[in-house]
Chain A
């Protein structure tokens, strides 16, 4: 059967019989381990624990001409990091590589010493016994007093993971090259300064010697020179020679930019100054003059001193420190860059790799990224975009783009930009991370080993535990009921009951009021509704949509242009101005490969479950908008004016284009005369600068905390599914509670499920203490609301009950939820209360991957070419709608309410895609 001689060679039966049982004679050193990952103690994480140091660090070493290789400093400068690792030995190892092989000093046949601008070398090597591997970046600095004027240094990134270094080689190389360039630039400046001083000293010495010689000449009347005079003359000649030599050196160091900086990626400032210098050099023929007129003129006055012509080269002299060699400012800047590198490559390789892959893939998804991706990443991408456009050089930008790509916040030490006095190189380091943020990141890092991390491991007995006081209220009305009156649930909201009062209610019962059904249960959401009642749900919810006109507290959406459709679009409808394009799909128009998104059909969809879906209309964006006529008997204008009181900057407006004050004003105007109100889509843009989400939002710490709290939430509350469903389907969820900290915590946790509709911030308001306005429900999709026991608080709750059709209300104090029914399968996979996921950060990752899957479905639904377009002219909209329903069910495998989630996300995608400036509008209110 087998024709392979190699197989035959090793398939002698005795081989196979013997090999596993007889100890092979082959010495182990010549063999390979049979279980590379499964031997004793070996596991995918164990290779990192073999080293004597606790984590990666950077070591700067020097090959000292006096003592040989020696370590100078480490980053971070903490002995705990490198532990018992022998830095001296490792310095010896990494500095013993004779990488230069370039001549420095007096070349044969040359009259003067020649500076050789040696290019940096990069070496990856290791010490497998110590489990230490290093990327070593060798560089040479100049020192007038050093042998051959050179001081060899190296910067090494030391890690226990060899693969990490090789896989990140190019990134490491790029980052270290920057640090090296910074050091060398500073060094050239310092070296030139040193030369200048030396020249002044020599010049002064020459003058003195010359004067002395002249005096001796005059004093000498014997006609011959004394030995002293000859000595003076020799000394003078030596000084003259030294001056020429040093002038030549100065010329060489000054000519560096013209020779070396060509072809390098220079920052704009660097190039400008090179050009300036070049033009200056061309007009200045005398090197002395050039030196005088050059940058050195700005130096503080230096008092020359008398020196010996020949410098003493002895071993007792003190060599300059690295800081002295490079100029303090540049040295500080280099340290900042090195700290940035240490921070950038810190941690497990798998996270580094994944974040790189993540970023690369996200770059290809401009259309959907805004929904759930972190803003920092989005910003990164935008920066990347800007950088790809050739623009005017900006001094604020770092020299290259690779820093932007780093997954973690950047430079730790803030240093400004300044100019080199040698090449006038503008150097500007990244300074995106302030001290405060750095501290936070540090804390994050520390917390990875902090005992508190163990809190993350939630008590297993918590899972599935259900508080007896928790209840769920399913929003809906009996189909037969046509008149809406104040429901029990609303009533309960208007009167701030103490939690005890609510908990004293019967635990498992349902109340059927004339307008709504309230189901109180301790069961998980799937089992909340008794079987005999389930069938009536859709119809019951259908009833909810028919709010009669003039009802107290009822909100009526009117399509101002299409009165005939009023009956159908009573609630939440938008203007019905359909066009041929409107009824087509997102890719209805194509031109030169460009997608043109038409809007969705203009008619209002009233879903069978009574939740009103109002797809955005392109035509209402500019001029028409939907109009809302409403009566509000108890509205308190002043309270609405204050509705944004106390909002932190980042919470002001997710789109940053709607000034809340303007909204309030407009609303008030509309309210006072019951006239139409132009929706947010058509509202005037303010000049407000988009404020970023809280800086720490996308930090690991934040993610971990958010995930941890979300995990607690889904385990503690049986109604987590409908609550999350509300968020995913665009229905505003109000978290009501007395304790701000608890409310904020939950809001932050739930925010991970909230789709954004702009590029800048999630529509989440962490804490509001004033009554909410209708616009707030449109603007914010998750609101933390203060429950106030005072009469003022009644207004808040009244407003809440008034708009309860558009909101789900999670009462934290009473542990109740009022929301639409959810029977899908998507959310249980996203938030299973029985999950064995232990850490918040892991749960966050899980949510992230599930939401990406969801985005993918929404993307497909939005851009599926045959789905939204009629296949022929006579195809009715009903047929198109049924095709869409079939697609959602069969192709995307969505059931029940999951359909609404994808439809809502698709709506956001369309809205985002259609608008020139994303985030200028809000999706419609959703019941």
Chain B
């Protein structure tokens, strides 16, 4: 570290967080590589518990280890690398995000880590991507913050000739706190309300004697079809927790066990917040019968989302993956650019307000997103499919209460997965593994019996999950071109 930033005192700053439920997280740490002293811990976040699971010394010891070897760091510019440790000797797992940044004039290596007990390994792994994605983005913003902090300090020192104060380097901590706490809350809520790996079909709509017993036939068809078209990513809202959870479980039947563990049931008493990156989540409306969906977080989800309201039986969906990713990236870039351009602390702090106060009412289905003025983010399910329709028409012909429907469902999922793999292979062959552009979508539809647009969407969505980037590769270029053309037209 530079001389401007003295090594922290042995007592590392610590923030204790009170959580309502059980916290699987032992601690989170922020460490940096000191050029003289090596790895040092700057801040610790730990849940407030009566029982001390890890002492500060142990946390510091572990956090220091996350930066071991990073003196050899060889990363691409701007890369945020993920390291994952399972230290059986200590009985912990550590997830570290390592990045380079400029802080107070020096370029150094930093590590933001979360520590969990090793017993939570199978609980954590399905949630790894969610945690990493969220921490990665806060690091992106934090890096800009650190950089600007330096610039401002240098300017201040030059202009005022004042010595810097010791706490100036701490400024990233409140920003990190703003994401570490929600991650802790997310893990805590998942501990108590995650969907089990195995779902009893008896707890779902598919156990009804006949289609339409629990919910309207068309609604169920739309919900499942759209759910599959949006890569199995759905938000179910309603006033009754039981009703919401029944649909959540039903939708989760169409997910893999790992994806189910990354889905959350609705809380009976009070509503959870929307969490970006979960596959299916149930959310309770407030007493006024409305629910505020944070637009920013919906945009930051890795896949587009289906919005299902079980009270009014509506199903709305976001645009397909390639559009979603494009919108998401534009939004991210806008956010980071605005952050970069902010000239005062007030401007920078505005983000905090944005963060805490953001809201988006899906009822409006109108919003402004990163240059796409007044575009509908949630839209009606436009493309009908034959796959889900046939499945629903057929599955209720089987007697409930036996394993027949489960077997039939497994067959349906197997068909979908095999079609998805065939589709990937088809495109792989046709494009010579991406070396050539894909031009024969029409042939693909005919050859793989996916002529119904909804069928293609479902299979493409499934394929996207196992081969990320497929949508952008197939549909991206024409889409980007059309967006650019439209933008050009809008300038006239």
Contact surface of A with B, Cβ cutoff 8 Å: 1-7, 9-11, 15-17, 19-20, 24-26, 28-38, 42-46, 89, 92-94, 96-102, 118-130, 162-163, 166, 169-170, 173, 349-351, 353-354, 357-358, 360-362, 364-365, 367-368, 457, 587, 590, 593, 595, 829, 832, 835-839, 841-842, 845-846, 848-850, 852-853, 855-856, 859-860, 863-867, 887, 891-893
Contacts of A839 in B (CB 8 A): 425, 429
Q: Report which of B143, B144, B334, B366 forms a contact with A2, defined as CB distance below 8 A.
A: B366
Q: How far is the CA of A887 from the CA of B397 in the complex (A)?
A: 10
A38 vs B438: C-alpha distance in the bound complex, in angstroms? 13
Q: Which of B74, B337, B414, B449 contacts A361 (CB 8 A)?
A: B414
A22 to chain B, nearest CB (A): 10
Q: What chain B residues lie within 8 Å of A94 (beta carbons)? A: 69
Residues in B with CB closer than 8 Å to A121 are 85-89
Residues of chain A within 8 A of B72, CB atoms compared? 89, 92-93, 96
- What chain A residues lie within 8 Å of B403 (beta carbons)? 593
> Contact: B84 with A123, CB < 8 Å?
yes
B74 touches A119 (CB 8 A): no
**B68 in contact (CB, < 8 A):** yes
Q: Is the CB–CB distance between A36 and B469 below 8 Å? A: yes
Residues of B within 8 A of A835 (CB): 447
Q: Is the CB of A848 within 8 A of B329?
A: no
B41-49, B308-316, B416-424 - the one binding chain A: B416-424
Contacts of A163 in B (CB 8 A): 468
A848 surroundings in chain B (CB, below 8 A)? 418, 422
Pick out which of these stretches binds chain A: B225-233, B242-250, B270-278, B471-479: B471-479
Does B166 belong to the interface (CB within 8 Å)?
A: no
B4 at the interface (CB under 8 A from A): no
Q: Is B257 an interface residue (CB 8 A)?
A: yes
Chain A residues, CB < 8 A from B383: none
The answer to whether residues A842 and B469 also contact, given A96-B69, A125-B81 and a CB cut-off of 8 A, is no
Which of chain B's residues has its CB closest to A853's CB? B415
B16-24, B261-269, B352-360: which lies at the interface? B352-360
B12 in the interface, Cβ–Cβ < 8 Å? no
Known contacts A3-B361, A9-B338: A842-B422 contact under CB 8 Å: yes
Q: How far is the CA of A96 from the CA of B74 in the complex (A)?
A: 14
B412 at the interface (CB under 8 A from A): yes
* Nearest B-chain residue to A367, judged by Cβ: B407
* Contact in complex: B358, A364 (CB < 8 Å): no
Q: Which of B176-184, B188-196, B215-223, B367-375 contacts A (4 or more CB under 8 A)?
A: B367-375
Q: Is A45 a contact of B371 with CB atoms below 8 Å?
A: no
Interface string of B56-78 (1 = CB under 8 A from A): 00000100010011011011111
CA distance A349 to B351 in the complex (A): 38
CA distance A119 to B467 in the complex (A): 36
The answer to whether B89 touches A118, judged by C-beta atoms less than 8 angstroms apart, is: yes
Are A6 and B87 in touch, CB under 8 angstroms?
no
Given contacts A6-B358, A846-B448, 6 further A-B contacts (CB under 8 A): A1-B364, A9-B351, A20-B484, A34-B330, A44-B468, A836-B440
Residue interface bits B418-438, CB-to-A below 8 A is 1, else 0: 111110111011110110000
Check B11 for interface membership: any CB of A closer than 8 A. no
Neighbouring B residues of A29 by C-beta, 8 Å: 77-78
Chain A contacts of B393 at CB under 8 A? 891
A349 proximity list for chain B (CB < 8 A): 466
- Residues of chain B lying within 8 A (CB to CB) of residue A867: 397
Residues of A within 8 A of B75 (CB): 127-129
Complex partner residue of B329 from A16, A33, A122, A842, CB under 8 angstroms: A33
Nearest A residue to B405 via CB reads A863
Name the residue on A nearest B351 (C-beta).
Answer: A9
Query: Which 7 pairs from chain A and chain B are nearest by CB?
Result: A43-B434, A37-B469, A29-B78, A96-B69, A849-B418, A119-B88, A6-B358
Q: Counting chain B CB atoms within 10 Å of each CB, which of A6, A130, A853, A892 scores highest?
A: A6
Contact of A838 (CB < 8 Å), options: B325, B429, B449: B429
A5-B357, A38-B476, A864-B397 given; A32·B333 CB < 8 A = yes
With A33-B329, A128-B76, A357-B417 known to touch, is A5 a contact of B353 (CB < 8 Å)? yes
Please report the C-alpha to C-alpha distance between residue A146 and residue B90 in the assembled complex, in whole angstroms. Answer: 25
Q: Is the CB of A850 within 8 A of B449?
A: yes
Question: Are B408 and A16 in contact (CB-based, < 8 A)?
Answer: no
User: Is the beta-carbon distance between A10 and B359 smaller than 8 angstroms?
Assistant: no
Nearest residue, chain A, Cβ from B371: A16
Q: What is the bound-complex CA distance between A119 and B334, given in angstroms?
A: 47
Compute how far the CA of A5 lies from the CA of B352 in the bound complex, rounded to whole angstroms.
Answer: 11
Determine whether the beta carbon of A35 is less than 8 Å from that of B334: no
In the complex the two chains form, what is the Cα distance from A29 to B71 in whole Å? 20
**B336 in contact with A31 (CB, 8 Å):** yes
